[in-house]
């Protein structure tokens, strides 16, 4: 799907790095190819190979990460001077079916889909890299730029942590990224200074106790009731142990116990997510949540075993880097192309980079202007207005040029 924005870019005369028409069409085709061949986290071998081949065709020298998927590629050679700007994309897909019925480029892989827009993010960074490489050959790129194609964003605690251990931030002073937003029209981006996403952790709980006949629950640990009370009571207890403004929320996604209507089981399992808007509250969350589960389980004579899996902290946009994105977008499409955006409860492992260097993530509008249906993220029918690729590429190239000139 594609519809060009009505907003007029400032143009090549003011700031170079506009996306030429022939490359625009190629990038749309590249995105559709990725969309048809989605790969899960740490399995993105075909995706990595496709990115690498196109960068090498442009005369660049990409380096596949030691983990086997994902890669980095520098445009220009860093001389140890002022640190580089990094452009980051996540390249993995989701383990859900593509349910788009009338789409020539729907997923060809069963139960796999690019339902979060990572194919768009990848294409944006690739396109920006190709444009910046051309500017570098012309002597018009003021400072080297690093492209970072990161695997396994959807796998907690996120592939960003592994990428950082591989040295992807060596020589990097700032980092920027986009994330598709189906609530924002193509041609526009949403920006926010400070926290723009939430922290997200995973929680797995096992409850055990002697079972028995449903006719004699007093002689057993009634695990079904115990599990039900954990599901209902723990979120309420947790909510009263942190500042309500922190947005700490425990939500269950799975509960499983028992096999027969007249047998009290000996085992129950629950799993869910813990999300938090506030960084300090997120750091306290494991102790608070584990204590609440133990209290409720003990009250019902159930033995609890808790696996609290640390996920990602909130993405906290740096004010100066956010302004860089605002200036870049304004230079390309005017001030009206930028809108404010709210902090979401979604998690994003881009946050790990921001523990090391300042950076910012923009919400890239992918809704066709005038369309009433919102194809939400992580849904099988998700799709993007492909004119957003041009918007992302031109914003990133402008950001690189503006940052290099500062």
The per-residue pLDDT for range 221-235, each reduced to its tens digit, is 999 999 999 999 999
pLDDT score of 8 more than 70:
no
Res 67: pLDDT: 94
Residue 1's pLDDT is 58
Sequence length of the chain is 406
3-state secondary structure of 288: helix
Q: How far apart are CA 109 and CA 47, in angstroms?
A: 14
9: DSSP letter: P
Lowest mean pLDDT among 2-6, 68-72, 295-299: 2-6
Residues 27, 315, 310: CA angle, nearest 5 degrees:
110
**Is the alpha carbon torsion for 117, 326, 312, 353 positive or negative?**
positive
CA angle 339, 340, 342 (to 5 degrees): 140
Check residue 279 and give its pLDDT. Answer: 86
Q: Identify the three-state secondary structure at position 182.
A: strand
Cβ contact 317:194 at 8 Å: yes
Interval 13-30 mean pLDDT:
91
In the predicted model, is pLDDT for residue 105 greater than 50? yes
Using alpha carbons, select from 265, 239, 264 the residue that is nearest to residue 250: 239
Q: What is the mean pLDDT of residues 127-149?
A: 97
Looking at residue 372, its pLDDT comes to 83
User: pLDDT-based confidence at 3, cuts 50/70/90?
Assistant: very low
Q: What is the DSSP letter of 111?
A: T
- With a cut of 70, say whether residue 4 has pLDDT above it: no
Predicted confidence (pLDDT) per residue in 346-395, tens digit: 999 999 999 999 999 999 999 999 988 878 899 999 999 999 999 999 99
pLDDT of residue 351: 96
pLDDT-derived band at 253 (thresholds 50, 70, 90) equals: very high
In the predicted model, is pLDDT for residue 207 greater than 80? yes
């Amino acid at each position: 799907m594609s519809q060009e924005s009505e907003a007029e870019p400032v143009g090549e005369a003011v700031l170079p790095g506009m996306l030429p028409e022939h490359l625009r069409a190629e990038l749309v085709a590249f995105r559709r190819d990725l969309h048809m061949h989605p790969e899960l986290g740490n399995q993105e071998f075909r995706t990595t190979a496709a990115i690498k081949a196109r960068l090498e065709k442009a005369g660049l020298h990409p380096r596949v990460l030691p983990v086997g998927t994902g890669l980095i590629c520098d445009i220009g050679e860093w001389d140890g001077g002022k640190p580089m700007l990094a452009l980051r994309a996540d390249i993995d897909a989701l383990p859900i079916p593509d349910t788009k019925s009338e789409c020539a480029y729907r997923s060809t892989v069963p139960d796999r889909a690019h339902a979060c827009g990572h194919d768009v993010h990848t294409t944006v960074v690739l396109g920006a890299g190709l444009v910046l490489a051309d500017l570098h050959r012309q002597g018009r790129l003021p400072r080297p730029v690093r492209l970072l194609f990161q695997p396994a964003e959807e796998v907690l605690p996120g592939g960003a942590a592994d990428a950082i251990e591989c040295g992807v931030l060596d020589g990097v002073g700032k980092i920027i990224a986009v994330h598709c937003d189906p609530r924002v029209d193509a041609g526009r981006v949403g920006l926010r200074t400070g926290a723009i996403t939430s922290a997200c952790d995973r929680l797995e709980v096992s409850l055990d106790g002697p079972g028995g006949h449903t006719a004699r629950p007093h002689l057993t640990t009634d695990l079904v009731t115990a599990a039900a009370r954990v599901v209902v009571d723990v979120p309420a207890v947790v909510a009263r142990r942190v500042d309500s403004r922190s947005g700490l929320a425990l939500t269950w996604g799975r509960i499983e116990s028992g096999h027969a209507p007249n047998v009290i089981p000996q085992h129950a399992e629950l799993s869910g997510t813990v999300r938090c808007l506030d960084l300090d509250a997120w750091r306290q969350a494991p102790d608070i949540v584990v204590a609440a589960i133990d209290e409720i389980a003990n009250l019902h004579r159930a033995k609890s075993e808790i696996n609290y899996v640390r996920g990602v902290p909130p993405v906290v946009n740096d004010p100066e880097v956010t302004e860089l994105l605002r200036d870049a977008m304004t230079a390309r499409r005017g001030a009206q192309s930028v809108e404010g955006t709210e902090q979401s409860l979604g998690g994003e492992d881009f946050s790990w980079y921001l523990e090391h260097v300042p950076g910012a993530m923009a919400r890239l509008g992918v809704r066709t202007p005038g369309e009433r249906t919102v194809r939400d993220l992580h849904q099988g029918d998700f799709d993007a207005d492909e004119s957003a690729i041009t918007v992302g590429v031109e914003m990133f190239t402008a950001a690189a040029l503006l940052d290099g000139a500062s």
